[in-house]
Amino acid sequence: MSAGKPLVSAIVVAQNQRARTVACLQALKDTADIPLEAILVDRSSSDGTVEAVRERFPIVKIVRRPADSSFGVAGNAGLALAEGRFVLLLQPSVTVGPGCVGKLADFLLTRPDMGATCPLLVDEQGELDLEARRAFPTPARNVGAATGLNRVFPNSRFGGGRPGGGGEAHEIDAGSSACLLVRRAAVDRVGFLDSDYGQEGADLDLCYRLRAGGWKIYFVPQAHAIRTPLNLPKTEVRSELWARHRSLWTFHHKHYAANLSAFPNGVVWLANWARWLYEVVRLELNGQVQAAQRRQAEGRSSQERAPQPQPQPPAAIAGPTVLAGPTVLAGPTVLAAPDSPPSGAQAESPPSAVQAVAAGLPQGRSDSSPVAAVPPVASRGEAGRAQVPTAPLRPAGRRTGGRYKAPDRAQTGGSPVPRNVSEQAPHGPAVEPADEAWPEGRPPADDLPAGL
């Protein structure tokens, strides 16, 4: 940007895009190799765009317009202040590359029949931006875009006919207001921007009028610029879709409808708005799919962050009566462990009956568990229920003549034989040792309690 007579006047129309506007003007200043001026048309920004531009670039001309001003109205306000031989339409989302403006101006200087030029536009990943150069939306192309015939027959009249990204400079139908250099003399002859198009379509209409006036429009791939896509909310995307299809119908009504009858015009109208409805439905479905994917991702992350449950200590459950050698030991009662061990201590289960005997405790008891009574030998009653026998087991004796004989004093150490088992084993009945068993391995049937 220079203070002398400019060769190019760059017009930037912005609204609440402070960071992008500053970056756009900074790139324009850093890469300028020809005299140029910058004009900012601000549509009532509330994010400090004007203040930031005035602080960083005092030489930039600033024009304020209402927030609801169309792109055509804002662009025409900037054109009124332009002094350059060429006019550059530039959007805040575009940063020009080194020598971009100079290369475009060179083509206009060397080709008097050229009315406008546009550079090669790519996104941040280097992909071609095909929307930067377009074919005119003729009635056949409108129908082809709505029915899919443009993809089936791309080289027919239903196709778009967009140029490639490389090669030499060549003629195209129309450029884009993202970055479009226009000859001021051609603008003065055919007019600049039509304010009837709202926010979309004014650049397409300008290129159509330039070609109708005998001027050519060229695509120059040697000059390049980077266009950063906008992350718009869904409501603004719907508004943009409406503005785009409204501008397509406005373009058709202005340039083609007079040469067609009512039926072809109705077909074009139906195709245009059917395509708009399809794009709105697709937008809603894509939004629902993305929302579902986000919910699934959030659910997986919350499960990963959730603490894992700690295993509970097992319950200490005593088993049934235990036979340890010649002694019958009664197991402790069932003790359920607490749900969680005491803080700072490990939950302990009560010792078993065998551990109690090894520790010298009374049979059938432990130091931490109550005593469970030894279940007596059951017999079958008349009703089939288990009944407690009345006769206790006899102490160990000898078999003489097929009869069981009680031991004498010598066998019992000089002490009388107890009449009740509980007198000898207060905590459980005594059982004859295995080495003193009867030769047959079983006492006579009449010496056993009933039911065995």
Name which residue leads in pLDDT, 62 or 345.
62
Average pLDDT over residues 36-52: 94
Smallest CA-to-CA distance from 181 within 78, 104, 82, 80 is with 104
Torsions phi, psi of 278, nearest 5? -60, -45
CA geometry: angle 196, 200, 204, nearest 5 deg: 85
- Encode pLDDT of 100-142 as tens digits: 999 999 999 999 999 999 999 998 888 888 777 888 999 999 8
Which pLDDT value is given to residue 240? Answer: 87
Which pLDDT value is given to residue 374? Answer: 45
Q: What is the pTM of this model?
A: 0.64
Token output for 291: 């929302």
Token output for 144: 């082809």
Residue for token pair 């390049």: 224
Smallest CA-to-CA distance from 203 within 331, 21, 24, 75 is with 75
Smallest CA-to-CA distance from 108 within 191, 31, 28, 220 is with 220
Residues in the chain: 452
Q: Could you give the domains of the chain?
A: 8-134+172-230 (3.90.550.10)
**Contact between 8 and 86 (Cβ < 8 Å):** yes
Confidence of residue 285 (pLDDT cuts 50, 70, 90): confident
3-state SS assignment for residue 249: helix
Average pLDDT, the chain: 76
Average pLDDT over residues 362-391: 46
Q: Could you tell me the sign of the dihedral formed by the alpha carbons of 230, 234, 240, 245, in that order?
A: positive
Which pLDDT value is given to residue 126? Answer: 82
Q: How far apart are CA 98 and CA 434, in angstroms?
A: 107
Weakest mean pLDDT among 91-100, 146-155, 162-171 = 162-171
Q: b/e per residue, 215-241, with b = 16+ CB within 10 A?
A: bebbbbbebbbbbeeeeeeeeebbeeb
Smallest CA-to-CA distance from 192 within 181, 178, 206 is with 206
Q: Is the pLDDT of residue 183 over 90?
A: yes
Confidence of residue 232 (pLDDT cuts 50, 70, 90): confident
Token output for 297: 């991702």
